[in-house]
Chains A and B, each alone.
Chain A
Amino acid sequence: MLASSAGGDPAHLSIRSSAWHPSLGVPRPAMTAHSFALPVIIFTTFWGLIGIAGPWFVPKGPNRGVIITMLVATAVCCYLFWLITILAQLNPLFGPQLKNETIWYVRFLWE
């Protein structure tokens, strides 16, 4: 859980930040890049299994039709929602605007 700090002493923080990173000027190793293809394959397979393969395994009974409808509808809705979210973040036009306190903190925390 993250919460940006309510208030901080910039001088106090700046002393701590320079104590944290030992070498100035050398770029730190980048975080691992997120691929786009891997999540697409994983989630398409997952929801495809539920929505397309799942109906074949529903036991025969009076509720078979309703259960199949529920499986397909769930798969379509959840997959579509996830797909919209990842597509919206694929090519961002602008980046997040952060407070300087947040930058000080996150710069070294998320590496």
Chain B
Amino acid sequence: MTFLISYWGEQIGQKIRKITDCFHCHIFPYAEHEEGRLGALQQVQQQSHELQEVLGETERFLSQVLARVQQLLPPWQVQIRKMKAVYLALNQCSVSATHKCLIAEGWCAARDLPTLRQALQDGSSEAGVSAVVHRIPCRDMPPTLIRTNCFTASFQGIVDAYGVGRYQEVNPAPYTIITFPFLFAVMFGDVGHGLLMFLFALAMVLTENRPAVKSAQNEIWQTFFIGRYLLLLMGLFSVYTGFIYNECFSRATAIFSSGWSVAAMATQSDWSDAFLAQHPLLALDPNVSGVFLGPYPFGIDPIWSLAVNHLSFLNSFKMKMSVILGVTHMTFGVVLGVFNHVHFGQWHRLLLETLPELVFLLGLFGYLVFLIVYKWLQDYAARAASAPSILIHFINMFLFSRSPTNQPLFHGQEAVQSALVILALVTVPVLLLGTPLFLHWRHRSRSQRGPAGRQPDEDKSGILDSSDASVAGWGPDEEKAGCPEDGEEAEFVLSEVLMHQAIHTIEFCLGCISNTASYLRLWALSLAHAQLSEVLWAMVMRSGLGLGRKLGVAAVALVPIFAAFAVLTVAILLVMEGLSAFLHALRLHWVEFQNKFYSGTGYKLSPFTFASEED
């Protein structure tokens, strides 16, 4: 903005000057002559031109510098973050004023100690100062480190999601690698669906090293990608159980000839065409000779997929299968607890806990499995109406009563059952009082021997007297030498141990019953999957396949019908049912299997690493 100011008189002139000074204006005297004025204007214009050039140069220079910095900025940022992380880690060390050094205490796996020493030597050799590492005794529970490779990592992940194991406790993950996909497959069994899942997982596994696949940002894809080996095994086992259930997209295949002969039944029972026309439903009788030719050698007989009463047979089969698998899985869990007791040297728990637990579980539910298998091996077809009912026998076993109409399965069954129930009842007080009383007796005999002179080999077992009855022992790495918390060892509160043991006993005994029933979800979900699959086929594909005799019409209509079938199969049966079966198999592992032996109250070793800084 330019002003032309003309004034009369000196004083006004001074006031104007003061005002213009205030506003930091540039003042140019108005020359008398035209040339003077033009010259002044030219000068001012030149000045402004030069200033603009300088500004332009400066901006160009600035953008050049910034462009160079932009290329160098990401590695600088990474460097700064790394430096920050290193300093954060160094801040956690304590400064020793006397020795003028930093002291750091941390955990290190015993196997990695030589590597650690080597790394410290390499690092400090350049600086000229030496970094040394000593092993010191410690009373805290060490963190858990389980080394996994890319295959076992996902299975360890699902075990750790429930709880990281205590130090040196038995790790259920190696067994979970197979039992988890197997229990999933029992609930998902279908050859077609299993094959689709297997192929999808195989595609992910074969392309796992491609950067486009590895670093995809989509979260849902990342979830599937991390569990690709899990999906691979799940699909593979589902194909196997699909062959056993004889279901491929809900259709049965007759690989071997069926064990039921309709023709023999028809000829023996004189089923003429008129007779068949009058009776819409007829049953095959296994008593008639030649009708039942033997069990189907691999899986469920294909005749059942044609039968109207197939659910009656399948329900009975699947319920018994669930109970057998459940009792086996839980017994395996109790047996895994043996490894824990042996490793930590708690021999008394073998006799006072594992043995009563096994007697209780196998005496009651192992006997149920025995009844199931025994009845399967007997031929009751001739007197099917009066065949003994396992359920009523089992109920009467607990009530010590009998039903006169229910035949015994074998001679002396009542005596055996009574003996088993009494044996199981006897194990309950042993489980409840055995360990606390033993620990109490041992603590008293030890304190009576005198508190002086604690030998080194007693220190290891001394830990076991603490109030937590299921404490973890110490590995051979840690040495015991005068630590400040000596007082805790001598403390042994009987009431706390008794309460802990009472909770454990109630949990185990009631858990046996409820957990066995919980395994019936294997039956429930496999039934749901089979029925959903059957409904989808009947409603979608069959209406398309039965569209009429004109080939052209059927062929054209089948394309959208198959598209709908495929979309619904993937969306409902693969994704929804897959997630559902995954969840239930996970629950069976986390609760019913792991509460027999796993405490899961540890914490992971989290070493300092730059990897988490670079995401």
Contact = CB atoms under 8 A, between A and B. Distances in A.
Contacts of B312: 94
Interface stretch (B76-84, B253-261, B569-577): B253-261
B279 A100 contact: yes
Interface stretch (B42-50, B219-227, B288-296, B509-517): B288-296
A1 B251 contact: yes
A69 B332 CA distance: 13
A12 interface: no
A30 B293 contact: yes
A14 B546 CA distance: 20
B267 A28 contact: yes
* Chain A interface bracket (under 10, 10 to 19, 20 to 34, 35 or more): 35 or more
Interface in B258-294: 258-268, 271, 273, 276-277, 279-286, 290-294
Contact of A110 (B149, B257, B324, B546): B257
Nearest to A92: B286
B594 to A, nearest CB: 16
Contact of A95 (B174, B175, B277, B285): B285
Contacts of A30: 261, 264, 290, 293
Given A3-B251, A32-B293, A97-B281, A73 B177 contact: yes
B41 to A, nearest CB: 88
Interface string A39-61: 10000000000000000000000
A106 B295 CA distance: 19
B558 to A, nearest CB: 15
B276 A88 contact: no
A73 B285 CA distance: 39
B480 to A, nearest CB: 30
* Chain B interface bracket (under 10, 10 to 19, 20 to 34, 35 or more): 35 or more
A98 B282 CA distance: 5
Given A84-B324, A93-B387, A98 B262 contact: yes
Contact of A103 (B266, B293, B545): B266
A80 B325 contact: yes
A63 B149 contact: yes
Interface string A8-40: 001000100110000000011011111110110
B295 A103 contact: no
A77 B178 contact: yes
Interface string B301-317: 11111111110110011
A98 to B, nearest CB: 6
Contacts of A80: 324-325, 328
Contact of A14 (B256, B273, B310): B273
Contact of B284 (A85, A88, A90, A95): A95
A107 B263 contact: yes
Contact of B280 (A65, A93, A99): A99
A85 B299 contact: yes
B486 interface: no
A85 B174 contact: no
A34 B282 CA distance: 24
A68 B244 CA distance: 25
Interface stretch (B97-105, B375-383, B396-404): B375-383
A73 B177 CA distance: 9
A1 to B, nearest CB: 5
B373 interface: yes
Contacts of A110: 254, 257-258, 261-263
B300 interface: yes
Nearest to A10: B277
A66 B174 contact: yes
A91 B267 contact: no
Interface in B327-353: 328
Contacts of B285: 95
A82 B267 CA distance: 33
B240 A78 contact: yes
Contact of A91 (B261, B280, B300, B378): B378
B174 to A, nearest CB: 5
A84 B282 CA distance: 28
Contacts of A1: 248, 251-253
A80 B96 CA distance: 64
A96 B304 contact: yes
Contacts of B263: 28, 107-108, 110-111
Given A66-B174, A77-B182, A86-B296, 11 more contacts: A2-B252, A33-B293, A39-B297, A69-B177, A84-B324, A85-B244, A88-B321, A89-B296, A98-B303, A106-B303, A107-B262
21 contacts: A2-B254, A3-B542, A30-B290, A34-B259, A38-B297, A39-B295, A69-B177, A73-B178, A73-B182, A78-B240, A81-B240, A84-B317, A91-B378, A91-B381, A95-B260, A95-B284, A96-B303, A96-B308, A100-B277, A106-B262, A108-B263
